């Protein structure tokens, strides 16, 4: 089976360098265009199921994919959310970066106050969720729309790939029932960009 992993389109908070975490966010005009282009890219794929984070920016992106497919049900999950960033959610990104530096630790182990998660927390949450989805759909193609940090931790945990993914990028992972295999990572060609780590002829 194939997992087609999509990051949501650009948000107003991305542009303003605001830490979104598990707030909903709002797509910019450019972000909505990116979402539409992603939907057009995937319109001819034989997709069996659509999954998404339950945050607004991911749902808005997923709906542009769903409009090309006859689905009565879209499956939303809080387990596919972005990292919870506690007291820094909705705050300028530089405040989070400053707090990490002052803690004397590394970003990967930093836990924001107010219910925040570490990267390890996100990695375990997202990988276990993706594994359950993959096992639920043997031999099928499934779309998952989620967030940059969630995808970063998924790729790091499964393959040791430290790849920050672009807005509305597409990554493809194969699962044979036991093992995950990266096929395409961070592809934005449908947006007019060439950057991608392409492991196959899939485009």
Q: How far apart are CA 78 and CA 55, in angstroms?
A: 8
Catalytic option among 10, 82, 84, 119: 82
Q: How, if at all, do strands 197-198 and 180-187 pair?
A: antiparallel
8 part of the active site: yes
**What span, in angstroms and rounded, lies between the C-alpha atoms of 74 and 66?**
8
* Tokens 């707090």 sit on residue: 99
- Annotated catalytic residue 137: no
Helix axes 56-66, 29-41, angle to 10 degrees: 40
Pairing of strands 170-175, 197-198: unpaired
Catalytic sites, residue numbers:
8, 82
């Amino acid at each position: 089976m194939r997992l087609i992993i999509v990051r949501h389109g650009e948000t107003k908070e991305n542009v303003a360098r605001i830490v979104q975490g598990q707030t909903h966010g709002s797509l910019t005009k450019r972000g909505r265009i990116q979402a539409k282009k992603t939907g057009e890219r995937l319109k001819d794929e034989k997709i069996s199921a659509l999954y998404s984070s339950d945050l607004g920016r991911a749902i808005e992106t997923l709906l542009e994919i769903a409009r090309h497919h006859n689905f009565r049900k879209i499956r939303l999950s809080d387990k596919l959310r972005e990292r919870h960033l506690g007291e820094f959610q909705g705050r300028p990104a530089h405040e989070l970066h400053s707090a990490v530096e002052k803690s004397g630790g590394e970003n990967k182990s930093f836990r924001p106050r107010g219910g925040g998660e570490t990267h390890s927390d996100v990695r375990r949450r997202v990988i276990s969720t993706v594994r359950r989805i993959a096992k639920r759909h043997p031999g099928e193609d499934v779309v998952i729309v989620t967030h940059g940090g969630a995808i970063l931790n998924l790729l790091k945990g499964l393959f040791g790939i430290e790849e920050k993914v672009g807005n509305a990028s597409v990554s493809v992972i194969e699962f044979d029932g036991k093992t995950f295999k990266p096929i395409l990572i961070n592809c934005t060609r449908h947006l007019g960009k060439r950057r991608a780590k392409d492991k196959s002829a899939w485009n």
